[in-house]
């Protein structure tokens, strides 16, 4: 979720809770916001836990990964798909790579936390 939109929704929940039920509504809104944050944190931890058992930057099929990518995906979504942490190639722009046993590599470029471009290359893994 977009952080700005999430912040606006949280503020709207606080205002609506206060207007409708006073202090009790405010407490309910805060409880719902904290619950949402815990759910997001738990999702991130689950993705990272699933990725810990795999070799760094390895996928079963780089071609299948390449076909499943779409612009705007987050790194967390890509890690969830690959079930492996990628190899970081560059800091700015953020560039990550995943490769398979056949030497096919997918290189992903993220800008602003979102997937901007990706390329498939055949040969040795970087």
DSSP 22-76: THHHHHHHHHHHHHHHHHHHHHHHHHHHHHTTSPTTB-S-HHHHHHH--TT--HH
Give the single-character DSSP code of 86.
P
Give the single-character DSSP code of 2.
-
Q: Does domain 62-122 have CATH number 3.20.20.370?
A: no
pLDDT tens digits for range 52-93: 888 899 999 999 999 999 999 999 999 999 999 999 999 999
| Domain ranges within the chain, ordered by starting residue | 3-51, 62-122
Specify the 3-state DSSP secondary structure of 106: strand
Residue 4, pLDDT above cutoff 80? yes
Distance, in Å, from the CA atom of 10 to the CA atom of 8, rounded to the nearest integer, reads 5
Distance, in Å, from the CA atom of 115 to the CA atom of 74, rounded to the nearest integer, reads 6
pLDDT computed for residue 94 by the predictor: 94
**pTM reported for the whole predicted model:** 0.79
Looking from the CA of 106 toward its CB, the CA atoms found within 13 Å total 22
């Amino acid at each position: 979720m977009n952080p700005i939109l999430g912040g606006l929704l949280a503020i709207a929940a606080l205002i609506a809770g206060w207007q409708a039920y006073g202090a009790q509504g405010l407490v309910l809104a805060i409880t719902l916001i904290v619950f949402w944050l815990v759910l997001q944190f738990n999702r991130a931890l689950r993705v990272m836990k699933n990725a810990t058992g795999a070799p760094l930057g390895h996928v079963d099929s780089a071609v299948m990964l390449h076909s499943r990518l779409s612009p705007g995906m987050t790194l967390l979504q890509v890690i969830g798909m690959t079930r492996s942490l990628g190899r970081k190639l560059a800091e700015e722009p953020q560039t990550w790579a995943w490769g398979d046993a056949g030497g096919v590599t997918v290189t992903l470029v993220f800008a602003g936390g979102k997937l901007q471009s990706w390329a498939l290359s055949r040969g040795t893994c970087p």
